[in-house]
Chain A
């Protein structure tokens, strides 16, 4: 059993209804969920199941209609916007499917400027950015702008940006969605390595092939928690691995 202290993200009976004039669209119907340190958790479910809304609420980007959310012990559903921003700044790292990098900045600056935003001195931020890019295998691409990088390289810059500030929680949204098999594999390995006894990774995905990297899978369906289970390791013999291996020039 995981101890209470190791829970980094927690939601109690979270409900969310979007309003569009007179129209009310209920999206989440009372989700209770915990994300533990030391685990890579996958949040899965079909399109429209409420995954994006749930992670937006879990990370304080959206407020729930009712229910309570805690991020690293802070009751973010009850805090003001400024306080929630401060918690996110301190505790969270994000990785997005479309990378969301600044096209005008080099890979190093994309990582470094976010660290500066978090209050780090320029020299320290530069060193951290270079270390993080080195860890994701982009030491020789630091001065390249996003337009000069491949999709996989851009995603690795985004991961370096998330890792560089050493957050306790990394939240990823379809992080391998736009990547080829080999690149997706390397990206997941980097994220897997980030999971320590004091940190956690939560990834939203449709891709069951990622289960081989996960410690736990949470499934959402029609705005409700449908399953909270151990990962299915059989997915590891899927075409994902065949393609990844072919990309490396050998069969699995």
Chain B
């Protein structure tokens, strides 16, 4: 039955091409929408992910990474004194203003960390080294933002005015974007505090590394005895931030709707093709039934065709989606096609093909073998 089904499908080239195009289109649409969604999730919480740590300490009531308040150095000392804590790292993560070459002002997101403690920041440094940011006023900006910041020529060494402080570009990142599209400016902790107007020893977050992750609950409980503070596991803070931006902004439903639209288009195109093909082969299928094929064997005829279309369409769709990812990155759009995105996306495409074959299967099951004599 497999051979009959597949050869029949391949025999009619025009229908085959239309069907594969339909599945491919649906697969590309679904994968890209999911990839964009995953990209938004990733960039909205990238700073938390890359900073690492087991527990994040923040002012009570904080909902999202981007809504920041100031924590004193006393908090660091108190948390660091806990026997389960191995290190407490500061993160400065504030809005600031940049004065562009043309005299206009724009907003930027200043990120400052202590070098040599925790993971390397900034991540994805394309030019320069993390140590290059240790000098006074040295910053790193993303290659994509150079135009927006009106920096022309070789950006290394270019002078900037951030938060009224003089700065100089010493590093270039690649693909480090924020969900709000504000340019990231990475610098050392001292200059970050200066640009943000923070005092010595202050920070927006204290990132806690534990000696043993098993004592996270105990540490968080102890920190939260202070009514001003909140302690959250890193992975929970990632989720909080993603939910805030993706859920609150309406981006999630919008992308989900687009992906659903892709699936519906795919169901219609593939369903139409499979149904037409089943109708075209009605006489032959009735012949097989007359010759003793069971209904299940005839359903397999449709199943093999749907499966073949799903396989080819998904493969082509994946290739096109991956190719699109590179082009999108150059345009500043982050598309993340992780293994889980691919698995869910391709699973949806397979389900789409299964759904598309329902009408054909229904027709096959209702087939009257006596039709062979008409």
Residues of A within 8 A of B (CB): 52, 55-56, 59, 61-62, 81-82, 85-86, 88-90, 92-94, 96, 98, 100-105, 109, 113-114, 116-118, 173
Q: Which of A90, A94, A102, A109 contacts B372 (CB 8 A)?
A: A94
In the bound complex, how far is the Cα of B289 from the Cα of A82, in angstroms? 11
A104 touches B11 (CB 8 A): yes
In the bound complex, how far is the Cα of B286 from the Cα of A88, in angstroms? 13
Inside 8 A of A109's CB, which chain B residues have their CB?
A: 3-4, 7
The residue in B288, B289, B290, B368 that gathers the most chain A C-beta atoms within 10 A of its C-beta is B290
Q: Which of B8, B287, B288 contacts A96 (CB 8 A)?
A: B287
B4 touches A105 (CB 8 A): yes
Q: Which 7 A-B pairs have the closest CB atoms?
A: A89-B292, A104-B11, A100-B287, A61-B370, A56-B370, A104-B8, A104-B7
> A56 and B284 in contact (CB under 8 A), knowing A88-B291, A88-B292, A103-B11?
no
A85 touches B11 (CB 8 A): no
A59 touches B7 (CB 8 A): no
Give the residues from 1 to 42 in chain B that come closer than 8 angstroms, CB to CB, to chain A. Answer: 1, 3-4, 7-8, 10-12
Inside 8 A of A173's CB, which chain B residues have their CB?
A: 373
Residues of B within 8 A of A (CB): 1, 3-4, 7-8, 10-12, 281, 283-284, 286-295, 297, 368-370, 372-374
In the bound complex, how far is the Cα of B295 from the Cα of A139, in angstroms? 33
B370 touches A104 (CB 8 A): no
Inside 8 A of B10's CB, which chain A residues have their CB?
A: 104
B3 touches A113 (CB 8 A): yes
Inside 8 A of B293's CB, which chain A residues have their CB?
A: 85, 89, 117
A100 touches B284 (CB 8 A): yes
A96 touches B291 (CB 8 A): no
B292 touches A101 (CB 8 A): no
A117 touches B290 (CB 8 A): no
B370 touches A100 (CB 8 A): no
A sample of 7 inter-chain contacts (CB < 8 A) reads: A61-B290, A92-B291, A102-B8, A102-B284, A105-B8, A109-B4, A117-B288
In the bound complex, how far is the Cα of B374 from the Cα of A61, in angstroms? 13
Inside 8 A of B12's CB, which chain A residues have their CB?
A: 104
Least CB distance from B152 to A in Å reads: 63
> A96 and B4 in contact (CB under 8 A), knowing A61-B290, A117-B293?
no
Inside 8 A of B292's CB, which chain A residues have their CB?
A: 85-86, 88-90, 92, 117-118
Q: Told that A94-B372, A102-B4, A105-B3 touch, could you supply 19 new A-B pairs with CB distance under 8 A?
A: A56-B373, A59-B290, A61-B372, A61-B373, A81-B295, A85-B293, A85-B294, A92-B292, A94-B290, A102-B284, A103-B8, A103-B11, A104-B4, A104-B7, A104-B8, A109-B4, A113-B1, A114-B288, A117-B293
Nearest residue, chain B, Cβ from A59: B290
> A113 and B11 in contact (CB under 8 A), knowing A89-B292, A90-B292?
no
In the bound complex, how far is the Cα of B290 from the Cα of A88, in angstroms? 7
Least CB distance from B17 to A in Å reads: 16
Least CB distance from B78 to A in Å reads: 76
In the bound complex, how far is the Cα of B297 from the Cα of A14, in angstroms? 30
Nearest residue, chain A, Cβ from B369: A61
Inside 8 A of A90's CB, which chain B residues have their CB?
A: 292
In the bound complex, how far is the Cα of B272 from the Cα of A229, in angstroms? 52
Least CB distance from A220 to B in Å reads: 14
Inside 8 A of A113's CB, which chain B residues have their CB?
A: 1, 3-4
The residue in B1, B292, B294 that gathers the most chain A C-beta atoms within 10 A of its C-beta is B292
Least CB distance from B249 to A in Å reads: 51
Inside 8 A of B372's CB, which chain A residues have their CB?
A: 61, 94, 96, 100
Inside 8 A of A117's CB, which chain B residues have their CB?
A: 1, 288, 291-293, 297
In the bound complex, how far is the Cα of B372 from the Cα of A88, in angstroms? 14
Q: Which of B1, B284, B294 contacts A82 (CB 8 A)?
A: B294
Nearest residue, chain A, Cβ from B286: A100
In the bound complex, how far is the Cα of B290 from the Cα of A55, in angstroms? 12
Nearest residue, chain A, Cβ from B292: A89
In the bound complex, how far is the Cα of B4 from the Cα of A104, in angstroms? 8
A114 touches B373 (CB 8 A): no
Least CB distance from A104 to B in Å reads: 3
Least CB distance from B12 to A in Å reads: 8
Least CB distance from B342 to A in Å reads: 33
In the bound complex, how far is the Cα of B286 from the Cα of A96, in angstroms? 12
Inside 8 A of A81's CB, which chain B residues have their CB?
A: 295
In the bound complex, how far is the Cα of B169 from the Cα of A162, in angstroms? 83
Inside 8 A of A104's CB, which chain B residues have their CB?
A: 4, 7-8, 10-12
B283 touches A100 (CB 8 A): yes
Nearest residue, chain A, Cβ from B296: A82
In the bound complex, how far is the Cα of B63 from the Cα of A20, in angstroms? 68
> A98 and B291 in contact (CB under 8 A), knowing A55-B373, A117-B1, A117-B297?
no
In the bound complex, how far is the Cα of B291 from the Cα of A61, in angstroms? 10
B291 touches A101 (CB 8 A): no
Least CB distance from A236 to B in Å reads: 28
In the bound complex, how far is the Cα of B281 from the Cα of A94, in angstroms? 18
Inside 8 A of A61's CB, which chain B residues have their CB?
A: 290, 368-370, 372-373
Nearest residue, chain A, Cβ from B295: A81
B370 touches A105 (CB 8 A): no
